[in-house]
Structure 1
Amino acid sequence: MIDYSLYLVTGRELLPQGQDYFDSLEQSLQGGVTVVQIREKNTDTREFLDIASKSKIICDRYNVPLIVNDRVDIALAVQATGVHIGQTDMPVSVARKLLPGGSVIGVSCNNLQELEKAITDGADYVGIGAVWSTSTKNLDKPVIGVRGVGELLQKLDGTPVKAVAIGGIKAQNLLRTLHGSVSTTNRALDGVAVVSEIVTSTRPREAAASLCKILSAFRNSGAILKAMRTRSEYNVESVLNGVIRIMACVREHNPLVHQITNNVSITQSANATIALGASPIMATTAQEMEDISRINEALLVNIGTLVSTAYEGMVLAGSCANAQKKPVVFDPVGVGASRFRKGAVNTLLNTWQASVIKGNAGELAALAGSNEVQSKGVDSIGSGFRDPVAFVRNVAQKERCVVVMSGKTDYISDGTNVAILSNGHELLGRITGSGCVAGSCIASYCAGAMNLAQGEDREGKLVLGDVFLGAIGGILALTISAELAAMREDVKGPGTFFPALIDELSMLSTRNIRERARIQIL
């Protein structure tokens, strides 16, 4: 059985000046490389044979299989473990006839059609990519992103075919690659193929060891967020108890919530955050993100005003938050309004892992590629989803995070459980930025969940249940406060409603939550 975990693809042209290829190869094996593919696209046959023969000797020394790119004749000559075939190379069926029994054949795949053909043809493994843009190979097909890998992996369910992601994978994006490249049925990658991260290093042993450490941490800890919980773990009482604990934690610890949000509603969002007991910081400059990620306890990214400087900050802020294991709340405002926004959202979600995605029906429909509900700017139009519970659960499974679908009725899912919340008041829809404020409330309560996680002897690890409760709590805090504000005698309409809403957020009590929450758990 081959261990595909850390699959090295060689590239002598990338070696640092003065670095010997064979020494680099041996060091990478010492660092933990589990498979080697030798690739020599511009080398004549005699030189390729010599390099492959010596590489095979080194690989045998560490009991690591050697796979030859494209050249079946070279693989036969050096008795390699197998070959890797591209879409324009020799067909799998022909290679299988030429190679001895038991030989391994891998195939490069970029889309569903290529993957299905590789399965039908009897490939032993597939190399899926490119996952990220890469300078080591001229790409003639689109970068598919980590979320695209997950969609392809679903086709491998029930087959013996292994899967390796390839293309631009480095230490800084490896965890995102592993966590995001999972199907909705939890079919994960069997390994990652790496080129430049090891080959260009002057210390290939350390480079390989660093990648192995990340791979091991991912498999041992379940990555940024733990796996989905079973439905039996939640009921109305347990959810409300969890929300109340988070509410108290926010007020006691005053967590710092970093918000890159809509310019139209910065003041409203900041005031709501303070009213709940948290502390806002509204920083957008990319150069600040690494420092802020060390001190904040949650990040909110809202693309309402998608200017270039803020976008650069969003890309980096999410990556830094992932590295610090901080919850990330993402609000893809108006994602269906333009191709630019769709492209930006796709890039963000492929670059970092969201803990919570919050949107209205139109925004989530655009994100999921559904035509059931349409967007009109930042609003939804249409009659709604035929089965909103199944929809929000499916999006949560696909994105591997908690999903909040806001509206007259709010639906929240962790991919298994679904909470249906029926609180709120029509005046919320008549003020600017109520959706942005909802994101701030969710982020504040996720920050509270982060504080609780750190205090419960879990090494500060955030699990999906924490942000599920944080999302429910954030929505309940806002919608119940809206009901209380609307009942006040001093509220005459939208203009007097928002100040009253801030007051009620600041005075929200445990009793308000218990008595007024209208919630179902499915």
Structure 2
Amino acid sequence: MPRRQLDYSVYLVTGREFLPAGKDYYESLEESLQGGVTLVQVREKNADTGEFIEVARRTKQICDKYNVPVLINDRIDVHLAVGTAGIHIGQTDCPLPLARTLIGPDAIIGLSVRNVDECKRAIEQSADYIGIGSVWHTSSKDIKGRRCLGPDGTGEILDLLDGTGVKAVAIGGIHLPNLPQLLHGSISPKTSNTLDGVAVISDIVASQRPRESASQLREIVDSFKRARLNLKGQKGVFSIIDAVDQAALDKEYLVKKVEGLMRILEQETPLINQLTNKVVMNDSANVTLAVGASPIMSTNPRDVYDLSPAIGACLINFGTIDDKEGMKVAGRQANVNRKPLIFDPVAVGATSFRRENAAELLAHWQPTIIKGNAAEIGALAESTEVASRGVDAAGSGFKDPAAVVKALARKRAAIIVLTGPTDYISDGDRVYKVSNGSHFLEKITGSGCQAGTLIACFAAASRISYLQNNEPFEDDSQLVQGDMLVAALAGILVYTVASEAAAERSDVKGPGTFRSALIDELYNLTPEVVRHRAKVEIL
């Protein structure tokens, strides 16, 4: 009989040691299957043979009720005793050719791979699928001394699978917040191959609500696959949004959307939590109030955890990186509660300390919008075109900024905002160019930080608009509902238009008076003024 075709979408690797107190393994397993787990690997590193066989037998019995296949980690004897669909082996386990001889031609064999060379051997030895990892750091495996692959490294391995029929799942540190980043960021650069699924342990096993955890993971994976299927045959085209409404390509329509968000801010006064640069905290709070939102600057991990359900959006600006644990909790809870998360990686390319902390945060949660100047966006994009000079960018900027933001948006599965004399905003498909602004913005401390604050305010307004009106711009492969591209545009446009109005005032004599006038103009700004002054291009 031919080998069974497996659905690798949400691949649960068991681990009884991760179960929360009072949670029964078999109860957790059945709930996870009800939530949408498509494949189960029984992994028992410390059980003796008899216990392993019993766990595998009962696991298969439950999985059979849901028509979900079971694989056995490493132990060929357990697989043969229980009659599962196949095995998964590591690089130091039984060699694959020998395993194939022992288990026969019809069983599935998966092989863990950590690099390109191991992947090539897996293809040569006719593995049915490979497990790529570790993508990020994980508590389930000892990977000391080994480099985590990240989405980029995963994509390099996926390139090798083109035309081979070998399937691929990623494993290691994968959870709901960073899943979109992995799926979008690992699309192979040469062949556009994608993952067939993700292998997860603690995000399901350690959950008190494994059904809900599995369901959320399945929703993201299925949506990503639908989006890719819709784009099949459109060579070189990728969109984070399944379908782009043509009206969104009209400037007047965009400005009307911005006007609507301005009104929502005034009516709803969403709470915006800002873990931000101490240098700009007071000004950030003032501009938040000026546009109609309500600021709170909470950083304590316990406090931000409790606040998350109540906020409209969360801004993480790590200019002074003093509250990293609070940032990790705040970002993770924003993802869990599906609140917009705006990341401002201040001076991320300036020091190794900042680069390492940004990498740690981005592996812990998924930003909705990333805002930065040319040096910061260049560092995240691993570009050498623009250098960092402290918090500022050095040099003449990118030759093609639109291409840079579009590519980084695809890679990060986030809206990218590149600020400067001209601002560029992209979701990986569309690019908006904003040419408003005053030269005084370069002369005051924290103007970029304030722009991030306003983006967070309008992201909250966009989410409210979606929930109120069920608007058609939902990206269901992402964590947040609402048109976040327009939200980012609104934040930039309102800030830069207000800066122009402030600079034209007769009482503005320099940067000091401009700073106060800017807050006044943000407070007094009307949708009509934005419409009249807006300099927006769709590239």
Q: Residues 477 and 168 from structure 1, CA distance in 2 versus in 1: closer, same or farther, beyond 3 angstroms? A: closer
Alpha-carbon distance in 1 for matches of 2:22, 2:295: 51
Match in the other structure for 1:166:
171
Match in the other structure for 2:254:
239
1:414 touches 1:464 (CA, 8 Å); kept in 2?
Answer: no
Match in the other structure for 1:276:
291
Match in the other structure for 2:524:
507
Q: Residues 56 and 484 from structure 1, CA distance in 2 versus in 1: closer, same or farther, beyond 3 angstroms? A: closer
Query: Counterpart of 2:130 in 1: which secondary structure?
Result: strand
**Unaligned ranges ≥5, structure 2:** 226-238
1:31 touches 1:207 (CA, 8 Å); kept in 2?
Answer: no
Match in the other structure for 1:257:
272
Query: Counterpart of 2:179 in 1: which secondary structure?
Result: helix
Q: Residues 441 and 159 from structure 1, CA distance in 2 versus in 1: closer, same or farther, beyond 3 angstroms? A: farther
1:456 aligns with 2:469: yes
1:104 aligns with 2:108: yes
1:150 touches 1:183 (CA, 8 Å); kept in 2?
Answer: no
Query: Counterpart of 2:425 in 1: which secondary structure?
Result: strand
Query: Counterpart of 1:407 in 2: which secondary structure?
Result: coil
Alpha-carbon distance in 1 for matches of 2:133, 2:299: 32
Alpha-carbon distance in 2 for matches of 1:394, 1:217: 25
1:229 touches 1:465 (CA, 8 Å); kept in 2?
Answer: no
Alpha-carbon distance in 1 for matches of 2:22, 2:440: 69
Match in the other structure for 1:37:
41
Q: Residues 135 and 446 from structure 1, CA distance in 2 versus in 1: closer, same or farther, beyond 3 angstroms? A: closer
Alpha-carbon distance in 2 for matches of 1:411, 1:404: 6
Alpha-carbon distance in 2 for matches of 1:28, 1:418: 40
Superimposed CA distance per residue, residues 99-140 of structure 1 (whole angstroms, 9 cap, x where no aligned partner)? 422321211123444445434543222223334544443224
Q: Cα offset for 1:511?
A: 2.5
Instruction: Map residues 345-364 of structure 1 onto 2, 5 A cutoff.
Output: 345-364=358-377
Alpha-carbon distance in 1 for matches of 2:497, 2:275: 25
Q: Cα offset for 1:155?
A: 5.8
Query: Counterpart of 1:475 in 2: which secondary structure?
Result: helix
Q: Residues 28 and 508 from structure 1, CA distance in 2 versus in 1: closer, same or farther, beyond 3 angstroms? A: closer
1:357 touches 1:402 (CA, 8 Å); kept in 2?
Answer: yes
Alpha-carbon distance in 1 for matches of 2:451, 2:355: 22
1:88 aligns with 2:92: yes
**Unaligned ranges ≥5, structure 1:** none
1:131 touches 1:146 (CA, 8 Å); kept in 2?
Answer: yes
1:331 aligns with 2:331: no
Q: Which sits farther off after the overlay, 207-216 or 415-424?
A: 207-216
Match in the other structure for 1:178:
179
Alpha-carbon distance in 2 for matches of 1:468, 1:18: 44
Alpha-carbon distance in 2 for matches of 1:217, 1:60: 20
1:137 aligns with 2:137: no
Q: Residues 279 and 130 from structure 1, CA distance in 2 versus in 1: closer, same or farther, beyond 3 angstroms? A: same
Match in the other structure for 1:193:
199
1:494 aligns with 2:511: yes
Instruction: For 1:218, give the aligned amino acid.
Output: I
Match in the other structure for 2:235:
none
Superimposed CA distance per residue, residues 362-421 of structure 1 (whole angstroms, 9 cap, x where no aligned partner)? 111111222121111111112322221111001011111110001111110011000011
1:228 touches 1:415 (CA, 8 Å); kept in 2?
Answer: no
Alpha-carbon distance in 2 for matches of 1:433, 1:18: 49
Q: Residues 364 and 39 from structure 1, CA distance in 2 versus in 1: closer, same or farther, beyond 3 angstroms? A: same
1:150 touches 1:182 (CA, 8 Å); kept in 2?
Answer: no
Q: Residues 217 and 49 from structure 1, CA distance in 2 versus in 1: closer, same or farther, beyond 3 angstroms? A: closer
Superimposed CA distance per residue, residues 192-213 of structure 1 (whole angstroms, 9 cap, x where no aligned partner)? 4344667779xxxx76534433
1:151 touches 1:183 (CA, 8 Å); kept in 2?
Answer: no
2:37 touches 2:218 (CA, 8 Å); kept in 1?
Answer: no
Superimposed CA distance per residue, residues 28-78 of structure 1 (whole angstroms, 9 cap, x where no aligned partner)? 77887543434455677x758955884687378545433233344654565
1:395 aligns with 2:397: no
Superimposed CA distance per residue, residues 145-179 of structure 1 (whole angstroms, 9 cap, x where no aligned partner)? 5676567556656653333333455xxx3x22432
1:8 touches 1:37 (CA, 8 Å); kept in 2?
Answer: yes
Tell me the TM-score normalised to structure 1 length: 0.85
2:33 touches 2:63 (CA, 8 Å); kept in 1?
Answer: no
Q: Cα offset for 1:325?
A: 1.2
Aligned length: 510
Identity of aligned residues (%): 46
Instruction: For 1:193, give the aligned amino acid.
Output: A
Q: Residues 292 and 459 from structure 1, CA distance in 2 versus in 1: closer, same or farther, beyond 3 angstroms? A: farther
Match in the other structure for 1:248:
263
2:280 touches 2:446 (CA, 8 Å); kept in 1?
Answer: yes
Q: Which sits farther off after the overlay, 446-455 or 326-335?
A: 446-455
1:254 touches 1:279 (CA, 8 Å); kept in 2?
Answer: yes
Alpha-carbon distance in 1 for matches of 2:177, 2:20: 27
Tell me the TM-score normalised to structure 2 length: 0.83
Instruction: Map residues 270-349 of structure 1 onto 2, 5 A cutoff.
Output: 270-307=285-322, 310-349=323-362
